[in-house]
Structure 1
């Protein structure tokens, strides 16, 4: 049975609001006061993946806004606009809609891919970026093409290129989401719990979310065969001139830590790489305290 979009308005110390930005409406959970930090979730999750970090960052003196990406959660789900250019424009527009001229952008997984792209595509609003479980897009592309282990680990993206079938799998039961949550997290770790599986599985049943979530990755796949993919990769080869933090789980089974090293070559200035031991792909929930500690220390060092 479909789930209403209001499902994502989960109670907590944060406030829920909807902002008009880039011709769409985006759901944002907001907490704290101070310099703005925009949080971008990954697949197959929504803003709630950042709940632990929201509290820690707000307590440290930052204004934190965790948004649902286009097509996810309580945000609009238009039929098109799931390329990285639009995703960065969405993030930049939300920053301005929140009354700020700039922000630190932090993303996990898909959100990390978007965060890496912000300093080049939207430099006017990007003060710094942090990426969890995702290297620079050019590094990720190279690893997926030329490393046998990462190519196998990225096979799920190929399966998402099929029309209609993946959407049916995502909404038929919790099995599809559970397979990703368990398959990408550290073996024998505490995440995901049955509650985690139910929450993210139900969120995927919000009308049009499954299709929209797949569309983000369909652009990544199909654009490689069209001019916009190579053009995007040429655009983001330029040096990143803002501080960058990259966190990666040592036990990540989706984005393997070995083949995806090397993002620092695109950051001639302040670049820090931190490995989170015994954690997989879903760092914000597998190692919430360690991630919060690293983010707070980094944010305080650059503000």
Structure 2
């Protein structure tokens, strides 16, 4: 079985590491937090075998790609610009864009702002959300004891200090905790204790985000997979990835001019019914109303028992859905 190859390309004024496999129409795979190109390892092979050129960059701030220091270098316009730069570097007229987690948000806007370059979109985990009337962080939940994890990420250096102490433990906790198995275990513990949880995505103000106990590996993640992720983050750190969150309100300001612009390309949406994002307040409404903003939405595919790490937890189902969708598109 062939393996993806990696190379460095120049895009949007920075260097990006890309993993790629196969030949044919271009499919651009955009990862989320805290991952890297490696989160698409199962898709690269499957898409190549199906006759596509699959390309997964380490997004800006991750892995072997450049990591600008300034927080304001991680806006949605930088991210979409990076992806246009990847297409240009590959001399590709257009591509189908696939995104998960933060990569999903970026892919939504890439398809929305540049349908001339992104002819279709397959989005995992994060439904399309119209622009809110107020800055997003202003309505994120918080109490005297806890705050929403995206608020915890706002102060530079705080989350970095917790996460970089032991990257392997950090990634194990996040990958298990957000998985279908982790969500099931957390719900069972809460039910057994009789104590209500503090809410989806809430972080204790005194104890931080990570659990104090060892967590098991989820069934879909090998020790070698975790070692790969840990080595990447041990080298690159968490500042770049966390800077995405520090631009949430800035992105809201920047996107004001595009309010009401729809995603007009053919689109597929896939998520797990145990995904914490699907449990966020308002997510059910976004799912139900998505076709208003995404008129060519072909399907909403929900995977029973699947958590947040969609393409890693259910590679066969995701691969089959992606290939079917890609083959349905006009050439």
Q: Deviations over 1:109-138 (max 9, x none)?
A: 000100000123223311111110111142
Matched, 1:157 2:144: no
Instruction: Indicate the SS of the match to 2:39.
Output: helix
Question: What aligned pairs does 1:214-253 form with structure 2 within 5 A after superposition?
Answer: 214-220=242-248, 222-223=249-250, 229-232=252-255, 235=258, 237-253=260-276
Which structure 1 segments of 5+ residues have no match? 1-10
In the aligned structure 1, how far is the partner of 2:148 from the partner of 2:120? 31
Q: Residues 1-303 of structure 1 correspond to what in structure 2 (within 5 A)?
A: 13-80=3-70, 81-138=73-130, 155-173=148-166, 174-187=168-181, 190-207=219-236, 209-220=237-248, 222-223=249-250, 229-232=252-255, 235=258, 237-256=260-279, 258=284, 260-261=286-287, 262-303=289-330
Rg bigger for which structure?
2
Residues 9-66 of structure 1 deviation map (CA, whole Å, 9 limit, x = unaligned): xx96211111111101110111111110000011000001101111111111111111
Distance 1:107 1:155, change over 3 A: same
- Give the Cα–Cα distance (whole angstroms) in 1 for the partners of residues 83 and 35 of structure 2: 17
Deviates further, 103-112 or 237-246: 237-246
Please list every run of 5 or more consecutive structure 2 residues that lacks an aligned counterpart in the other structure: 183-217
Deviations 1:125-158 (A, max 9, x none): 111111101111428999998797xxxx992111
Provide TM-score, normalisation by structure 1. 0.85
- Alpha-carbon spacing, 1:206–1:154, altered in 2? closer, same or farther (3 Å): farther
**Cα RMSD (Å) of the superposition?**
2.7
Task: Give yes or no for contact 1:139–1:263 (8 Å, CA) kept in 2.
Answer: no
SS at match of 2:319: helix
Deviates more, 1:37-46 or 1:122-131: 122-131
Alpha-carbon distance between aligned partners in 2 of 1:250 and 1:233, rounded to the nearest angstrom: 31
Decide whether the 8 Å contact of 1:34 with 1:63 is kept in 2.
Answer: yes
For residues 250 and 65 of structure 1, the distance between their equivalents in structure 2, rounded to whole angstroms, comes to 27
Cα distance in structure 2, aligned partners of 1:144 and 1:14: 38
